[in-house]
């Protein structure tokens, strides 16, 4: 039986949607404005930045701040360090978490429940509480000022989230897909590689995006683990170096922050179309 909407209810629903859309637009504006201000300030001359009434958009755009940022000591070294540490940590986390998630989602073994609980507990733990223990471990193993130690820390930080996320994606893949491949003569490994793995692309993209952003923006562990060898530091620490005798060079700082944010933006734009979980829809339909 078809139900009818009461005449007085439709305007109320429409007003509620307008209120929600307005609130969402306001939150979006508040979140985006600092990023926009950083971008606009990077193109403003020093006189406009120090003006008592700064404009929303640079009246006389300039690239001098970007030239100062790129020409600063250690720019390319820190850029290389950040890229190497981030890429290595993300790839290691994806490899280990993919195997772990498969074991948790598809297999039954003793200790599976406690293992899942430990993974969730590790994900909820505040990583800042591990600064001192990690420093002691790195000191005792002579791994201070080592990019390998920093990579291991970032791998440890991103691993619980990637396991939990990939476990959810694996659980969403119908078991019938894998069973059909086994019936057709594939081994368990071949079925996973040829059938299940392609369907995990959204999960792999989502976890790699999270891992990249986490490792790329991390600041605290770099200051704790990289002490003497300044050439081993990463871009977040490099941003704090834009100071002169008169204070902070805001133009160069905003230009450096813009350059620092570009890789994350590029990775997000490249992956955001592939993060949707609809790739497994209809996978078992004949």
Judge whether 169 and 202 are in contact, CB under 8 Å.
Answer: yes
- Does residue 175 fall inside a structural domain? yes
Domain of 108, CATH number, reads 1.10.3720.10
Element housing 244 (H / E):
strand 243-244
Is the C-alpha dihedral spanning 185, 186, 187, 191 positive or negative? negative
Examine the domain organization and report whether 40 and 93 are in the same domain.
Answer: no
- End-to-end, the C-alpha distance of the chain in Å comes to 34
Closest C-alpha among 64, 48, 284 to residue 181: 284
- The model scores a pTM over 0.85: no
Domain span at residue 115 reads 67-280
User: CB within 8 A of 104, min separation 6: which ones?
Assistant: 112, 115, 116, 163, 167
Examine the domain organization and report whether 243 and 101 are in the same domain.
Answer: yes
- Give the whole-angstrom CA distance, residue 68 versus residue 71: 5
How many domains does one find in the chain?
Answer: 2
Examine the domain organization and report whether 84 and 196 are in the same domain.
Answer: yes
Closest C-alpha among 60, 52, 55, 56 to residue 36: 56
Q: How far is CA 238 from CA 84, 183, 217, 218, 221, in A?
A: 16, 56, 12, 12, 14
Digit-by-digit pLDDT tens for the chain (286 residues) are 455 555 556 777 787 788 888 898 999 889 889 888 888 888 988 888 888 777 788 888 888 888 888 888 888 888 899 999 999 999 999 999 888 888 888 778 888 888 888 888 888 888 888 888 899 999 998 888 889 999 999 999 888 888 888 888 888 777 777 778 788 777 877 887 888 888 787 778 888 888 888 889 888 898 888 888 888 888 888 887 666 544 677 888 888 888 888 888 887 777 766 554 444 433 444 4
- Does residue 54 fall inside a structural domain? yes
Examine the domain organization and report whether 39 and 129 are in the same domain.
Answer: no
Examine the domain organization and report whether 101 and 233 are in the same domain.
Answer: yes
End residue of a domain, out of 22, 44, 62: 62
208: its two tokens: 């790699």
Element housing 20 (H / E):
helix 9-42
Helix 201-217 to helix 75-106 angle, to the nearest 10 degrees?
140
Judge whether 258 and 39 are in contact, CB under 8 Å.
Answer: yes
223: its two tokens: 């200051």
Angle, CA of 205, 209 and 212, to the nearest 5°: 135
Examine the domain organization and report whether 157 and 212 are in the same domain.
Answer: yes
């Amino acid at each position: 039986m078809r139900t009818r909407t009461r005449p007085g209810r439709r305007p109320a629903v429409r007003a509620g949607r307008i209120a929600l859309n307005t609130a969402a637009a306001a939150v979006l504006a508040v979140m985006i404005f600092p990023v926009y201000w950083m971008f606009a300030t990077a193109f403003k001359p020093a006189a406009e930045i120090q003006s008592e009434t700064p404009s929303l958009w640079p009246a006389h755009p300039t690239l001098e701040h970007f030239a100062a940022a790129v020409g600063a000591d250690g720019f390319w070294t820190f850029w290389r360090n950040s890229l190497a540490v981030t890429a290595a940590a993300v790839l290691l986390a994806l490899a280990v978490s993919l195997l772990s998630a498969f074991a948790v989602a598809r297999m039954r073994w003793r200790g599976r429940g406690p293992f899942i609980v430990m993974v969730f507990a590790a994900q909820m733990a505040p990583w800042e509480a591990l600064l001192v223990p990690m420093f002691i471990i790195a000191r005792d193993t002579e791994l201070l000022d080592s990019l390998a130690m920093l990579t291991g820390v970032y791998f440890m930080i991103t691993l619980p989230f990637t396991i939990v996320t990939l476990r959810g994606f694996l659980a969403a893949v119908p078991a019938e897909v894998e069973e059909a491949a086994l019936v057709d003569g594939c081994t368990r490994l071949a079925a996973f590689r040829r059938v299940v793995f392609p369907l995990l692309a959204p999960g792999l993209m989502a976890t790699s995006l999270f891992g990249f952003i986490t490792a790329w923006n991390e600041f605290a562990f770099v200051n704790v683990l990289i002490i003497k060898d300044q050439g081993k530091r990463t871009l977040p620490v490099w941003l704090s170096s834009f100071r002169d005798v008169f204070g902070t060079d805001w133009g160069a700082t905003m230009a450096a922050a813009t350059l620092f944010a570009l890789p994350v933006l590029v990775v997000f734009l490249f992956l955001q179309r592939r993060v949707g979980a609809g790739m497994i829809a209809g996978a078992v339909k004949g």
